[in-house]
Amino acid sequence: MPPKIPSVLFKNGYPVPVLGLGTWNSPPGQVAQAVKDAIDVGYRHIDCAHVYENEHEVGAGIAAKIAQGTVKREDLFVTSKLWNTYHLPDLVRGALQVTLRNLNLNYLDLYLIHWPVAYREGDVLFPLRPDGKRVHFSDVDYVDTWPAMERLVDAGLVRNVGLSNFNVNQVQRVLNVARIGPATNQLECHPYLHQKELTEYCREQGVSVTAYSPLGSPARPWVKQDDPILMDDPVVGQLAKKHSKSAAQILIRYQLQLGHLVIPKSVTRGRIASNADVFGFELDADDLPLLASLERKGRICPESFSFGHPHHPFEEEFRKGRR
């Protein structure tokens, strides 16, 4: 059994386990078992999203473990995310209720605006234009969506609200209008992409950072044959050998020591357990600069369907990196 996963407190005092199970890009038919395995080995934090199209499987896994008496609902921290086609304030509560039905839950511990970009309203997740490369946009501003998120807290349907993939200016715009401040900003974070300015800004504002794709997401659907593989990086391998740990454990531990929450994804019980076995060692002071030196602005989730949207958070930076 891995050590007990510790929790930290959001700014409002609500506890959140520092390590969670990610469910993005998990193969259909394997997610429920992955959730059950994760709960069995000590996870209490599960990260979901409507757009992943597997929340019904997550819900089945959670329900099975509650029915067995392994956990109670209040033992779990469950996150989901508002998709881009539901930013219109009048649609926010209905979108959450779909997620709650799929998860078979009465409330969420955390609900995030998945991206600051709004798509044309409707049930098609990616309403593509005729060129098939970009989506139809909506002109809804996320600062108008935010009060609808806050009302979910007022209604007792959500314990915390937050952001995902918001840049510095966008976080500030939300803070400017917020009655209930965002608990976290969930970001792509790994040694090839630190987003240092953004993560430091969030910390200064009392907004925690949750790191997704901490292992570099080697199985992402759009991976190219010549893309660098973070877990095969010689520096990561060197540190894995030094600490007698796996590459994944080094990368997860790195995010934790940066002060981030972290949500690695796996559907393999052995890897799920191994990913949680990161609390019995620490990276040394001279290990951290080595991992920091791997920075290459290597964003692997640019949301390229949204290029051209006035609220795309990272398009300018992404395009500069490709010049």
Annotated binding-site members: 114
What's the CA angle centered on 141, arms 81 and 119, to 5 degrees?
60
CA-to-CA distance for 302 and 195, rounded, in angstroms?
13
Give the span between the Cα atoms of 201 and 127, in whole angstroms.
33
What are residue 17's DSSP bridge partners? 7
Q: What 3-state class would DSSP assign to 247?
A: helix
Q: Helices 269-276 and 247-257 sit at what angle, rounded to 10 degrees? A: 40
Structural contact between residues 196 and 146, judged by C-beta atoms closer than 8 angstroms: no
Cβ contacts of 260 within 8 Å, gap of 6 or more: 189, 199, 208, 209, 210, 211
Q: Which of 14, 43, 52, 212 is catalytic?
A: 52
Cα dihedral angle (316, 207, 257, 222), rounded to 10 degrees? -40
192 is catalytic: no
Nearest-angstrom CA–CA distance, 92 and 95: 5
Binding site for substrate: residue ranges? 114
CA distance 162 to 149: 9
Which residues are the active-site residues? 52
